[in-house]
């Protein structure tokens, strides 16, 4: 992370504490990204063993969230950070919450993969495409956090709108698939849940992007349109 946000303080220990929590967030992000990758692979390739791994290892992400959260609270209590330092600590707390929820969604996709549904080829292709976009969003959001890159954070927000459109397309196709043959209803409902989980992962990635803009610019851009967010991010403070 750029040094303009992790400032040099009189206490070298404080510097190290801030550097440590940012490093741990990125480590957690890497774990979550792998969970999403594995969940999608398990679903598309009908890999039951990999799906079981995804479902049974989510506790590691949960545990890391609790640990980082506790470290942030200790920093607030001991150091009483202000301005950019406080924004950094608060951003970390918010980011790890969204990362934990992405892990939950990956676990949900893993559960769908364990159901052993007989999914159509076209539907699998659609989910692969949607999953590719979602994984790119998550990767970009983590990169933007690592580099405090507002432009990349804005790109994540733009990608989220693309995922929303893809999700709507997948839902329409799945509904058509069910209407064509009622025997597909049970398996298709499972796929709808998986698609919904992907859409939610994209939402969480956008949340992370919004926190990065808050971190760098000091502007809360939650609940703003993309145009409003871009305007706020370009303002000089």
Neighbouring residues of 74: CB distance < 8 A, sequence distance ≥ 6: none
Q: Tell me the CATH number of domain 12-234, given options 3.30.565.10, 3.10.105.10, 1.10.10.1200, 1.20.58.220.
A: 1.20.58.220
128-156 per-position pLDDT tens digit? 889 999 999 999 999 999 999 999 999 99
Task: For residues 225 and 208, give the distance between their C-alpha atoms in angstroms, rounded to a whole number.
Answer: 15
12-35 per-position pLDDT tens digit? 788 788 889 999 999 999 999 999
Question: What are the tokens at 25?
Answer: 């967030």
Residue 110 in contact with residue 51, Cβ under 8 Å?
yes
pLDDT for res 80: 86
DSSP-assigned letter for residue 182: G
84-117 per-position pLDDT tens digit? 889 999 999 999 999 999 999 999 999 998 886 5
Instruction: Give residue 3's pLDDT band: very low, low, confident or very high (50, 70, 90).
Output: very low
51-77 per-position pLDDT tens digit? 999 999 999 999 999 999 999 999 999
Task: For residues 171 and 192, give the distance between their C-alpha atoms in angstroms, rounded to a whole number.
Answer: 7
Task: For residues 187 and 177, give the distance between their C-alpha atoms in angstroms, rounded to a whole number.
Answer: 10
Task: For residues 222 and 209, give the distance between their C-alpha atoms in angstroms, rounded to a whole number.
Answer: 10
Instruction: Give residue 236's pLDDT band: very low, low, confident or very high (50, 70, 90).
Output: low
189-223 per-position pLDDT tens digit? 888 999 999 999 999 999 999 999 999 988 888 88
Q: What pTM was estimated for this model as a whole? A: 0.88
Question: What are the tokens at 177?
Answer: 């698939």
pLDDT for res 222: 85
pLDDT for res 121: 52
Alpha helices in the chain (DSSP H): 12-45, 48-56, 58-79, 83-114, 121-147, 150-180, 185-217, 226-234
Q: Say which residue, 122 or 84, is predicted with more confidence.
A: 84
Domain extents in the chain: 12-234
Task: For residues 112 and 103, give the distance between their C-alpha atoms in angstroms, rounded to a whole number.
Answer: 14
Task: For residues 234 and 141, give the distance between their C-alpha atoms in angstroms, rounded to a whole number.
Answer: 18
Calculate ∠ Cα 158-43-143, nearest 5°.
35
Greatest extent of the chain over all pairs of C-alpha atoms, in Å: 69
Task: For residues 37 and 106, give the distance between their C-alpha atoms in angstroms, rounded to a whole number.
Answer: 8
Nearest to 110 by CA among 49, 180, 177, 26: 49
Instruction: Give residue 185's pLDDT band: very low, low, confident or very high (50, 70, 90).
Output: confident
Residue 191 in contact with residue 174, Cβ under 8 Å?
yes
Nearest to 37 by CA among 112, 132, 117, 108: 132
């Amino acid at each position: 992370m750029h040094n303009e946000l992790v400032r040099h303080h009189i206490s070298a220990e404080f510097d190290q504490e801030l550097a440590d929590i940012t490093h741990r967030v990125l480590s957690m992000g890497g774990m979550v990204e792998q969970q999403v990758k594995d969940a999608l692979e398990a679903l598309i390739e009908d890999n039951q063993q990999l799906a079981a791994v995804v479902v049974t290892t989510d506790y590691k992400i949960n545990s890391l969230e609790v640990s980082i959260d506790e470290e942030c609270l200790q920093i607030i209590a001991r150091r009483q950070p202000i301005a950019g330092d406080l924004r950094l600590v608060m951003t970390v707390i918010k980011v790890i919450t969204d990362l934990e929820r992405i892990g939950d969604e990956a676990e949900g996709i893993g559960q769908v993969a364990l159901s052993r549904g007989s999914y159509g080829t076209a539907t699998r292709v659609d989910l692969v495409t949607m999953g590719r976009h979602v994984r790119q969003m998550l990767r970009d959001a983590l990169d933007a956090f690592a580099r405090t890159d507002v432009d990349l954070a804005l790109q994540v927000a733009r990608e989220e709108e693309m995922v929303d459109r893809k999700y709507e397309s997948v839902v329409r196709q799945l509904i058509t698939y069910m209407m064509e043959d009622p025997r597909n209803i049970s398996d298709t409902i499972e796929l709808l849940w998986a698609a919904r989980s992907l859409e939610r992962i994209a939402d969480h990635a956008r949340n992370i992007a919004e926190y990065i803009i808050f971190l760098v610019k000091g502007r809360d851009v939650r609940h703003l349109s993309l145009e409003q967010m871009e305007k706020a991010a370009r303002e000089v403070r």
